[in-house]
Amino acid sequence: MNRIFFRFFVLVMLSITAATFVIYFAFARLFGDPLDDIARRQAAAQIFLLEGYVDQAPGDEWLTRLNNVREVSDVRYDLMPLSQALDALGAGQRAELERGDIVIDVAGKSFYRRVDLDGDRYIGSQDEVLHAQDLPIDIGQALKMELLRYVIVAIALLLPIALWSRSHWQGLQSLSRMADEFGAGKLSVRAQLKPSDAVYPLAERINHMAGRIEDLMESQRSLLHSVSHELRTPIARLEFALELLDAKARDPELSRRIAAMEGDLSELNNLVKELLDMSKLDSARTLQGAPVELDALLRDCCATLPPSLQEVACELAAGLGTMELDARLIARAVGNLLRNAQKYAQGRIVLSARRTPDGVDISVDDDGPGIPAEERDRIFDPFYRLDRSRDRSTGGFGLGLSIAQKAVVLHGGSLHVESSPLGGARFVIRLPA
C-alpha cells in the first residue's frame, strides 16, 4: 500500500507543481510578471510619494521636492542618463521606460522612471531617469507564502489519496491472494469484493475466467478419469484371453507373438495407471499433509529403486528436520526423478538435499548426456519425450516428469532442470518452508 500511495501522491504533487509553473508563465506572458506586481505593491508607498508629492510640484520646484524626500527617506533617489538606464534594462522594460512608466527591478530592489517626456521640469529633464534604490521589496516572503500554500494543499491531499490508495490496495490484495490460491490448484476460489470497490469490474471478469477454467479442467479430469477406467476393463479381458490362448498354444512362434502382445497390454495398462494418477494431481484436495522426516523419506526413495548397474549415492545434509507435506506424493516425485536418471546415467546418480533460508532443495544428478537448454521447459509437458528417448526401453510415456512437477507444485514448490556437475542433468525440487 505504501508504494501505491507514495507513487500516486508524488504524481499528484508533480502535476500540481507543473501546473503552477504553467500558470505562472501563462500569466507572466498575458498579464505581466506576478513577481513584478508583488514588488510594486511592496513599493507602493515610495511610488505614491513620487507621483503624489514630487510630481505635483510646479516645474521649477520638482528638484526641490525630490531633495526634501531624499532627506527624510531611507530610499536612495538618483538621477541618471536615459541611455545608461536603457542599457541596464531588458527589451520589454525599455519600451515601458521610454513611455514614461515605472519599471520595477525586482532583483535590484529598485525602480526606474523618466523625469518627464517633454523637458518641462528642468533643462534636459527628458533625457534623465529617476532611479530609486533600496526599496522595501522582499520577494522571499512572497515565495514563503506560496510554499506554505503548496504545503497546505499537499497535506490536504494526503488523506483522500491515502483512502483511495487503501481501497485499491485492499482490492488488489484480494485479487492477488485469489490468484495465488488458484495457481496452487484451488480452482474453486473466487475474489470476494463489494460492488462499490474500485476493482470490482476486474474481479468479476477474473471470477468469470476462473469459473470457465475450472469447468474446463473438471471436464478434462472427468474425461481422462472415465476413459482410463473404461480402458481397464477391455485390457483385463485381453490379458485373460491371451493367457488362455498361450496355455493352449503349441507353436513356439505363436507363443512369442502372444508374449509380445502381453508386453504391449502391460505397457498400455501402465499408461492407464499413470493417466489416472496424473488426473488426481490436478487439485490441492488430493494433498494429505502430515509432519514427515525428510532424511528418512529420501533414503527410502533410494532404497526402493529397482536394481541397476549405476551407483546411486544419497548425500543428505545434516539437519533436514521435518516438513508438513504429503509423503506419498513427494516420494513419487523423487522416485520418478531417480528412475528417469537411471534411464540415462552412465554410471553414477546422486540424490542430495539441503536446508535453505526459504525451505529445502532436493537435487537429483546424473552423469548422462544431459538435456539441451532449449528443451528444458518442454520436458515437463505430458507425453513429451526427447528424440533420443522414443523407444520402449528408455522412453516411457512422457508422464513421469509431468507427474513429479504436479506433485511438487501442489506443495507450493517448483521443479526445474539445469546442468549437473557430474556432466549430465540436475533436477532440483524446491519446497517452501
**In sequence order, what DSSP letters do the residues of 224-280 get, joined into one string?**
HHHHHHHHHHHHHHHHHHHHHHHHH---HHHHHHHHHHHHHHHHHHHHHHHHHHHHT
Q: Can you give the pLDDT of all 433 residues of the chain as single tens digits?
A: 566 666 777 777 788 778 777 776 776 666 666 777 788 888 888 888 888 888 888 877 888 888 988 888 889 999 999 999 999 888 778 888 888 899 998 888 899 999 898 888 888 888 999 999 999 888 777 778 778 887 888 787 777 777 777 777 778 888 888 888 887 777 788 888 888 777 788 888 888 888 888 787 777 667 666 666 667 677 777 777 777 777 766 667 777 777 777 777 776 776 666 666 666 665 555 667 789 899 999 999 888 888 887 888 888 888 888 888 888 888 888 988 998 888 888 889 999 999 988 889 999 999 988 888 888 888 887 777 765 554 445 556 667 788 888 888 888 888 999 999 998 999 999 998 7
In a domain, 182, yes or no: no
> What pLDDT shows up at residue 426?
92
What distance in Å separates the CA atoms of residue 62 and residue 48, rounded to the nearest whole number?
15
Give the range of the structural domain holding residue 360, as residue numbers without chain letter.
290-432
Asked if 330 and 390 sit in the same domain, the reply is yes
In this structure, what DSSP letter does residue 318 have? T
> What pLDDT shows up at residue 29?
66
Asked if 103 and 228 sit in the same domain, the reply is no
Asked if 347 and 360 sit in the same domain, the reply is yes
In a domain, 9, yes or no: yes
In a domain, 54, yes or no: yes
> What pLDDT shows up at residue 392?
47
End-to-end, the C-alpha distance of the chain in Å comes to 26
Asked if 353 and 385 sit in the same domain, the reply is yes
Write out the H or E segment, with its range, that includes residue 348. strand 348-356
In this structure, what DSSP letter does residue 53 have? I
Asked if 298 and 413 sit in the same domain, the reply is yes
> Positive or negative, the Cα torsion across 305, 307, 308, 310?
positive
Whose grid coordinates read 469459473? Answer: 211
Total Cβ atoms within 10 A of residue 282:
17
Residues 6+ apart with CB under 8 A from 336: 400, 401, 403, 404
Find, among 107, 173, 179, the residue nearest to 140 by Cα: 107
Q: Rounded to the nearest 10 degrees, what angle do helices 400-410 and 252-279 cross at?
A: 20
> What pLDDT shows up at residue 26?
73
Backbone phi, then psi, for 377, in 5-degree steps? -85, -30
Whole-prediction pTM? 0.48
Domain count, the chain: 4
In a domain, 81, yes or no: yes
CATH of the domain at 420: 3.30.565.10
What distance in Å separates the CA atoms of residue 274 and residue 189, rounded to the nearest whole number?
28
Asked if 347 and 204 sit in the same domain, the reply is no
Whose grid coordinates read 523423487? Answer: 334
What's the maximum distance between 2 C-alpha atoms anywhere in the chain? 152
In a domain, 343, yes or no: yes
Asked if 155 and 53 sit in the same domain, the reply is no
Asked if 306 and 416 sit in the same domain, the reply is yes
Three-state secondary structure of 174-236 = HHHHHHHHHHCCCCCCCCCCCCCCCCHHHHHHHHHHHHHHHHHHHHHHHHHHHHHHHHHHHHH
Asked if 251 and 319 sit in the same domain, the reply is no
Q: What nine digits make up the cell of 209?
A: 475466467
**Domain termination residue (choose one: 262, 285, 308):** 285
Q: Are 89 and 99 in contact (CB under 8 A)?
A: no
In this structure, what DSSP letter does residue 126 have? G
Give the CA radius of gyration of the chain. 45
β-pairing verdict for 348-356 and 311-316:
parallel
What distance in Å separates the CA atoms of residue 382 and residue 401, rounded to the nearest whole number?
8
Q: Are 412 and 401 in contact (CB under 8 A)?
A: no
Asked if 253 and 393 sit in the same domain, the reply is no
Which residues, in sequence order, are bridge partners of residue 360?
A: 355, 431
> What pLDDT shows up at residue 132?
92
